[in-house]
Structure 1
Amino acid sequence: MCGRFVLFTESLLAEVGNLPGVGEVHAPQGIPGPRFNIAPTQVVPAVRLREELAQVDPARWGLLPGWKKDESGPPLFNARAETVRSKPSFRAAFKAQRCLIPMNGYYEWHDDGAGKAPYYVTRGEGLLWAAGLWEEGLERLSATIVTTAATPEMEWLHDRLPRFLGEEEVRTWATGSPEEAASLLAPTGLEDFSARKADKAVGNVSNDYPALIGTFGV
């Protein structure tokens, strides 16, 4: 699963502009500033593609389907790939409202014998692009992150993993048909992730500073 993540790059719009087929990037409402402890219901950037145009908008992390009457209930911050096409909360968005959620890395908790400890997971220096869905229920933009079973490389940490997209998969997910997008509902083919212990202070959502991602490895 993915319940906390990090996005601190200062060149997000440039990174979006480098996505395959993107010729123009709009961010009419601006983009959220650097964050080191993003939690569900907080604001995240959602990237939507249409032909050569990419639009980046602030979205609530936790999907609000059009039929929802209020924000009560657990936030829908993850959508399981195995049921995303059939579950009422996600199936409409999957058909035509797919997006990208950028992140530098994410946190996962793992019990290594001494109780659960947070780890920070990343992959090199570039951004990760997670497959997402968007909705506009309750007259606001919201989004969720699609997760799959973990890859063999990462299953030691947790049995779920965000569906990170390779560069060649981005446009298929964001603008392809439902059938084409469904072909990506399997664990990511990306490898070479790294995980290091993070500061336990990340457990408190009010803490948000660079040292949370840790400096000592595993």
Structure 2
Amino acid sequence: MCGRFVLFTSELLGHVGELPGVEEVHAPDGVPRPRYNIAPTMMVPVVRVQESLANVEPGRWGLLPHWKKDLDGPPLFNARGETVASKPSFRDAYKGKNGSGRCLIPMNGYYEWHEKVPHYVSRPDGKLMWVAGLWSSGLDRLSATMVTTEALEPMDWLHNRLPRFLLEEEMRPWLEGDMDEDLLQPSPKELRELFEIRPVDKPVGNVRNDYPALIG
């Protein structure tokens, strides 16, 4: 699963402009400030792509389906790939119905706990990690969730779930609804093997802590 992540790049719009097929980027609310401890219900950048136009907008991390009447209940910040096509909370977004659809969620890294020790997962080359996401406009606000899958080696020791990270060539198929049988499977091994995992200090467990030293 993914319950905390990090996004500190100052060049997010430039990275979005380099996504496959993107020729124009709109960000009506500007570039988000660097964050080192993003938790569910906080605002995160949601990247929605239609043809050659990418929109980068802040959305609540925790999906609000069109039928949701209020903010009660646990936030839907992860969606299991095994049931995303059938579970009422996610199936409309997965199928692009009722003011919802698919998106990408960028991160520099994320935190996961193993035996009560927080670990930071990132790419040692510094490149962004892109997660398959779903968005909705329930309660007249943009919200999003991350798709997760079973974790496989060499990541499975850390947690039994893993965000569905996308290779560059998988991004357009995900957004356009192609290759779904493959895209709901764990991220390719070539991508999983790129990730670096290192233990970090326990202050990351408090969402009020948000500073660069958290990632070590």
TM-score of the two chains, using structure 2 as the length reference? 0.94
**Cα deviation code 1:147-190 (max 9, x no counterpart):** 0011211001001000000000001111235xx33430000011
Quote how far apart the aligned CAs of 1:31 are: 3.1
Aligned runs of 1:78-157 on 2, under 5 Å? 78-96=78-96, 97-111=101-115, 116-124=116-124, 125-157=126-158
Quote how far apart the aligned CAs of 1:119 are: 0.2
Quote how far apart the aligned CAs of 1:192 are: 1.9
Residues 132/170 of structure 1: CA separation in 2 closer, same or farther (3 Å cut): same
**Cα deviation code 1:93-140 (max 9, x no counterpart):** 0012000000000000001xxxx1100001231000000000000010
In structure 1, the residue matched to 2:4 is 4
Q: Secondary structure at the match of 2:183?
A: coil
Letter in 1 for 2:59: A
**Count of equivalent residues:** 208
In structure 2, the residue matched to 1:161 is 162
Q: In the aligned structure 1, how far is the partner of 2:180 from the partner of 2:22?
A: 19
Quote how far apart the aligned CAs of 1:71 are: 0.4
Please tell me whether the aligned partners of residues 49 and 175 of structure 1 are also in contact (alpha carbons under 8 angstroms): no
Paired-residue identity, %: 68
Q: In the aligned structure 1, how far is the partner of 2:34 from the partner of 2:26?
A: 19
**Cα deviation code 1:62-86 (max 9, x no counterpart):** 0000000000000000000000000
In structure 2, the residue matched to 1:213 is 215
Deviates more, 1:57-66 or 1:186-195: 186-195
In structure 1, the residue matched to 2:54 is 54
Matched, 1:181 2:180: yes
| Residue ranges of structure 1 left out of the alignment (5+ in a row) | none
Quote how far apart the aligned CAs of 1:199 are: 1.7
Please tell me whether the aligned partners of residues 31 and 58 of structure 1 are also in contact (alpha carbons under 8 angstroms): no
Q: In the aligned structure 1, how far is the partner of 2:31 from the partner of 2:144?
A: 15
Letter in 1 for 2:107: M
Q: In the aligned structure 2, how far is the partner of 1:142 from the partner of 1:31?
A: 17
| Residue ranges of structure 2 left out of the alignment (5+ in a row) | none
Q: Secondary structure at the match of 1:93?
A: helix
